[in-house]
């Protein structure tokens, strides 16, 4: 092919943990090469879909010339092309680790981090110069566990003087005045899971206990990921929380769970599979996994954000948990960090509160912060990757110098002290975390889509433009997540606030017009 290679921008990677040996040259591995779109699909500022899934590939998918360059690269290094998706702009390439190392000029080795073995690489990925112009990311050479679930179990201990309480997801929806005269019929909620699983019996028993119809739940395997329930203390808690919260809010919706490996390639492939799913066509996607921005490569964040832009053009809303470790996002370097993918500008970042009520009414709502890292606090802050702030945050979000996108956009009940009653592997549990807020908002969006007769799609330009008088949000005025405190309007502890569902519905019925 062509000998001159260049470093793929943003692909630099450092291993974590301890090197325990060389990578076997004979091991067969598969990677995902994410290509840039032929042209960027338009995104409506008034929500909804600007382009259909059916016509997307022809105009905004991968360019055939770029795919051909990947084929040539693969052939030169004795690799095989195992899958091509123009719609998802993804070419899967398979071959031995030895040939992968030669093709991309990387050194692969085995490492152990936090007790888990993974294949790591050092430095930047090298690709032919003419291909570099067409590629967003090369994912899968490094297969470390990339993200963590953002759920917290109630420990049974009481923090401070406030007595812990718990709710069914339906009760939370009622407190937030969701339009519960509809049930999400005709909508599909996609849920991305990077581990764990569910037992159908748990779902049957849970929804029966709530006295509501069980939603149709199906699982889709991405890159070999499977519905694999193990124990209540595993990622099963995440999977069941997501399904049970979204399903209780919108029991008439179909719920499709996309199981994938916990790697950058798996996460990317699961998102694009959900966004471009022609069979199930989710109108909203819930993500409750993530990690601090500095644990990702710039190329992987850009490819994920690019996929989220495609979703926005298709009228698909993506909700993501903002993290459960406050303004540090669990890092120990003394600095503030935000969680990705919640920090992605085309994803609705969902933060956390403590929700108090009496007699079916909210009596108080503050930022979730239990005062210690082990008990958790809602994630939020400012991005170091997406700078400057996106257009919809201009004039509203004023980041410190050198920082960008503000997170979260919205919030909802997340404190395990005011958590959700769920059933996980046969055990009744109370679980919180911003992991509950992403499916809560996803369920709400399914209801809004049904009520409006159209997908709300990319919500942020509308939400940030709403006047306070719309009453679409409960503005959180008390509490902090560490560095950042709640106050009037948007803040980096609670975003714009928690939802007032029927007021939000009225506001969305007459959104501002325009295509961005």
Give tens-digit pLDDT for 453-496: 999 999 999 999 999 999 999 999 999 999 999 999 999 999 99
Nearest to 415 by CA among 486, 380, 366: 366
Q: Which of these is catalytic: 435, 494, 498, 500? A: 435
199 by Cβ neighbours in 10 Å (0-12 / 13-18 / 19+) ranks as middle
Kindly state whether residues 44 and 189 are assigned to the same domain: no
Domain interval for residue 104: 5-139
Same-domain check for residues 439 and 401: yes
515: in domain: no
Phi then psi for residue 427, to 5 deg, are: -110, 130
3-state secondary structure of 22: strand
Residue 42 contacts residue 313 (beta carbons within 8 Å): yes
pLDDT at res. 44: 86
> Token pair for residue 503?
């007021």
Taking the C-alpha atoms of residue 137 and residue 6, their distance in angstroms, rounded to an integer, is: 13
Mean pLDDT of the chain: 94
**Domain presence at residue 60:** yes
Q: CA 163 to CA 283: how far, in whole Å?
A: 38
Kindly state whether residue 70 falls inside one of the protein's structural domains. yes
Domain-embedded: residue 318: yes
Considering only CA atoms, which of 349, 188, 189, 190 is closest in space to residue 270?
190
Query: Which 8-state DSSP code applies to residue 447?
Result: H
Residues 347 and 250 reside in one and the same domain: yes
What are the angstrom distances between the C-alpha of 395 and each of 83, 399, 490?
A: 44, 10, 11
Least confident of 20-34, 49-63, 230-244: 230-244
Mean pLDDT within 391-414:
97
What are the pLDDT digits (tens) for 69-88? 999 999 999 999 999 999 99
Residue 45 shares a structural domain with residue 159: no
Q: Tell me the average pLDDT across 55-64.
A: 95
Query: Do 119 and 204 share a structural domain?
Result: no
Task: Please indicate whether residue 435 is annotated as part of the active site.
Answer: yes
- Same domain for 159 and 247? yes
| Separation in Å, CA 406 to CA 361, 415, 464, 466 | 30, 21, 12, 17
Q: With 70 as the cut, is the pLDDT of residue 306 above it?
A: yes
Residue 516 lies in a domain: no
Residue 483, domain member (yes or no): yes
- Classified as helix, coil or strand, 270 is helix
* Shared-domain flag, residues 397 and 268: yes
Whether residue 211 is predicted with pLDDT greater than 90 in this model: the reply is yes
Q: How far is CA 50 from the centre of its chain?
A: 22
Given a cut of 80, whether residue 507 has pLDDT beyond it is yes
Q: Is residue 242 annotated as part of the catalytic site, yes or no?
A: yes
The answer to whether residue 396 is domain-embedded is: yes
Of residues 511 and 15, the one with the higher pLDDT is 15
Q: What is the pLDDT of residue 154?
A: 79
Angle at 244 between CA 435 and CA 237, to 5 degrees: 55
Q: How confident is the model at residue 232 (pLDDT cuts 50, 70, 90)?
A: low
Which residue in this structure is represented by tokens 């303004």? 327
Give mean pLDDT, residues 428-434: 94
**Does the structure show a pLDDT above 90 at 379?**
yes
Percentage of the chain exceeding pLDDT 90: 91
The pLDDT score that the predictor gives to residue 24 is: 96
> Does the reported pTM lie above 0.85?
yes
Same domain, 292 and 344: yes
Number of domains present in the structure of the chain: 2
Strand pairing of 126-128 and 107-113? unpaired
Residue of 136, 242, 409, 415 with catalytic role: 242
Shared domain for 282 and 367, answered yes or no, is: yes
Catalytic residue, chosen from 136, 238, 293, 425, is 238
How high is the pLDDT of residue 159? 52
26 catalytic per annotation: no
| 301, 385 Cβ separation under 8 angstroms | yes
Q: Do 253 and 179 share a structural domain?
A: yes
Nearest to 501 by CA among 145, 177, 164: 177
Is-cis flag, bond preceding 341, omega within 30?
yes
Which residues have C-beta within 8 Å of that of residue 298, sequence separation ≥ 6?
9, 10, 11, 12, 385
CATH of the domain at 272: 3.40.50.200
Residue ending a domain, choose from 88, 119, 139: 139
The residue assigned the tokens 């201009």 is: 394
* pLDDT for position 162: 58
Quick one: average pLDDT of 96-121? 96
What is the mean predicted confidence (pLDDT) over 262-289?
Answer: 98
pLDDT band at 374 (very low <50, low <70, confident <90, very high): low
Instruction: Of 52-56, 151-155, 328-332, 506-510, give the lowest mean pLDDT range.
Output: 151-155
Shared domain for 199 and 249, answered yes or no, is yes
Q: State which of 120, 139, 158 marks the end of a domain.
A: 139
Cα–Cα distance measured from residue 474 to residue 465, given in angstroms and rounded to the nearest whole number: 16
The answer to whether residue 371 scores a pLDDT higher than 80 is no
Q: How many residues does the chain have?
A: 516
* Residue 108, domain member (yes or no): yes
Q: Please enumerate in sequence order all residues whose Cβ is within 8 A of that of 476, keeping only pairs 6 or more positions apart, or say none.
A: 353, 365, 366, 367, 411, 486, 491, 493, 494, 497, 498
The predicted pLDDT at position 513 comes to: 58
Cα–Cα distance, 472 to 476 (Å, whole number)? 12
Query: 324: part of which helix (H) or strand (E)?
Result: none
Let me know: does 11 contact 137? Beta carbons within 8 Å. Answer: yes
**Residue 213's pLDDT is what?**
94
Domain boundary among 108, 139, 170: 139
Is the domain of 135 the same as that of 165?
Answer: no
């Amino acid at each position: 092919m062509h000998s001159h290679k260049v470093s793929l921008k943003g692909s630099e990677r450092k291993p974590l943990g301890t090197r325990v040996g060389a990578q076997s040259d004979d091991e067969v591995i598969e990677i995902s090469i994410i290509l840039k779109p032929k042209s960027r699909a338009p995104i409506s500022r008034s929500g909804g879909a600007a382009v259909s899934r059916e016509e997307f590939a022809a105009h905004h998918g991968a360019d055939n010339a770029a795919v051909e360059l990947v084929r040539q690269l693969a052939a030169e290094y004795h690799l095989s092309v195992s899958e091509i998706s123009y719609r998802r702009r993804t070419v899967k390439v398979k071959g031995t680790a030895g040939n992968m190392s030669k093709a991309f000029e990387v050194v692969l080795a085995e490492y152990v981090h936090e007790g888990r073995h993974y294949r790591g690489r050092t430095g930047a990925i090298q690709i032919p110069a003419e291909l570099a112009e067409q590629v967003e990311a090369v994912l899968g050479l490094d297969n470390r566990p990339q993200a963590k679930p953002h759920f917290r179990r109630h420990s049974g201990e009481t923090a401070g003087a406030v007595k812990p309480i718990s709710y069914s997801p339906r009760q939370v929806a009622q407190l937030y005045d969701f339009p519960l005269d509809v049930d999400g019929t005709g909508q599909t909620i996609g849920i991305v899971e990077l581990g764990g699983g569910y037992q159908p019996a748990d779902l049957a028993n849970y929804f029966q206990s709530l006295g509501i119809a069980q939603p149709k739940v199906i699982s889709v395997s991405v890159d070999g990921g499977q519905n694999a329930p193990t124990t209540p203390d595993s990622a099963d808690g995440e999977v069941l929380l997501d399904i049970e919260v979204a399903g209780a809010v919108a029991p008439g919706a179909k719920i499709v769970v996309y199981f994938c490996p916990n790697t950058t390639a798996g996460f990317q492939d699961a998102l694009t599979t959900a966004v471009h799913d022609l069979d199930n066509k989710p109108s909203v996607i819930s993500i409750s996994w993530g990690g601090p921005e500095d644990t990702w490569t710039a190329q992987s964040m850009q490819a994920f954000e690019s996929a989220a832009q495609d979703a926005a053009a298709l009228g698909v809303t993506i909700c993501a948990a903002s993290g459960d470790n406050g303004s540090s996002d669990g890092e120990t370097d003394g600095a503030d960090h935000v969680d990705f993918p919640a920090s992605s500008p085309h994803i609705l970042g969902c933060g956390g509160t403590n929700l108090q009520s009496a007699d079916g009414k909210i009596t108080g709502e503050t930022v979730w912060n239990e005062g210690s890292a082990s008990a958790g606090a809602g994630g939020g802050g400012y991005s170091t990757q997406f700078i400057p702030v996106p257009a919809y945050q201009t004039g509203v979000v004023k980041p410190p110098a050198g920082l960008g996108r503000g997170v979260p956009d919205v919030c909802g009940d997340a404190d395990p002290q005011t958590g959700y009653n769920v059933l996980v592997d046969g055990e009744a549990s109370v679980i919180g975390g911003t992991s509950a807020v992403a499916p809560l908002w996803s369920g709400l969006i399914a209801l809004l889509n049904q009520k409006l007769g159209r997908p709300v799609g990319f919500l942020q330009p509308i939400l940030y433009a709403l006047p306070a008088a719309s009453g679409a949000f409960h503005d959180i005025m008390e509490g902090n997540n560490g560095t950042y405190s709640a106050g009037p309007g948007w803040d980096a502890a609670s975003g714009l606030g928690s939802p007032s569902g029927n007021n939000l519905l009225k506001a969305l019925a007459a959104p501002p017009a325009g295509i961005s």
